[in-house]
Copies of this chain bind each other. A is one copy, B any other.
């Protein structure tokens, strides 16, 4: 008998039929004797419907009132799922975030969980109930309703699992696990049985949308065993684990993440003196534009160039900021390029294997793919390339690192 926290997202509870299917799955665990806490999102489409109502009234609705409004979405789902569980003979009780209570700070729309009172849930579990909790929401010290921001339901599930010391936190999604890379792009992409938290973090931050980064960080911090699996079909999914000892046995590379959401900006001909980078990036930051990969180089004429990527939606805004800064600094040119893609090799095994970068660059060179930017960390190598070559590059690397070969234990 285990204590399991399960999370089902908006697509998994998007219709009455799907809520019934989730109830069927949960009831199976409960009838086998597991203690189950279920975290659910709003039915898909519902949050957008509510945001639409607000936008008819106010261009910039108050964050406090937005939280009151959108938190009703999950509240509808918890009630419906509890009814569907009761129909299957499971005693079930639903709770909003505020009722649990999940205490957060008062940053509406992007609140952070500070504490969870697990007593009420534990009492219900002891009494044989399935407990159904609204994801994505909590309440601050004063009892004001807060929401955790996008993807917050994953975080709710992980935080509850930590507070309850659950045996496993299961995130049910529309994919059956974490893959070596996107299976829609590489037919030989392989589901990983296991991946470490660090690798998962790097994969998530590089565009793998299976799990929210905050939830993975939280799970890593509190050592909650996390499993990603499919709402729609049975299977073991992917277990996200603490780094284990047999690191030597691990393959060098676990997966390849990529995204096309970014654009590249370059400012050239800037005087190569200390503080220049911070003046440029400071101006960008003050405009509320987030910067991702940054590379700086010194040219032969002792001027420097700085290149960085931003979200593609913010390219025009960033270019405006940069042109103003260029004038101030006496820089020569500002270039903007939306046609790029970012690609990253991720793997804990890199730490103990030399030559990964060389193999990567060689594989890309063999296909005549030019590397525009390189950025490395201990378990990740990121490159920026021309967007047109993305599919080719992913397939080349997937093959170069033998990722389609059977599973990790080999």
Contact = CB atoms under 8 A, between A and B. Distances in A.
Given A93-B64, A94-B65, A83 B54 contact: yes
Interface in A73-120: 75-76, 78-80, 82-84, 86-87, 92-94, 96, 98-99
A54 B79 contact: yes
A13 to B, nearest CB: 12
A23 to B, nearest CB: 8
A145 B80 CA distance: 15
Interface in A26-72: 50, 53-54, 56-58, 61-62, 64-66, 68-69, 71-72
B65 A83 contact: yes
Given A50-B76, A53-B76, A53-B80, A87 B58 contact: yes
A68 B58 contact: no
A54 B80 contact: yes
Given A64-B93, A65-B86, A99 B19 contact: no
B16 A99 contact: no
Q: Chain A, interface size: which category?
A: 35 or more
A253 B79 CA distance: 49
A140 to B, nearest CB: 11
Given A50-B76, A75-B75, A93-B64, A84 B57 contact: yes
Contact of A57 (B58, B78, B83, B93): B83
Given A65-B94, A68-B78, A93-B64, A16 B57 contact: yes
Given A65-B83, A76-B72, A57 B20 contact: yes
A89 to B, nearest CB: 12
20 contacts: A19-B57, A20-B57, A53-B80, A54-B79, A54-B83, A58-B83, A58-B87, A64-B94, A65-B80, A65-B83, A66-B79, A68-B75, A68-B79, A68-B82, A68-B96, A69-B75, A69-B80, A72-B75, A75-B75, A99-B143
Interface of A: 16, 19-20, 50, 53-54, 56-58, 61-62, 64-66, 68-69, 71-72, 75-76, 78-80, 82-84, 86-87, 92-94, 96, 98-99, 143-145
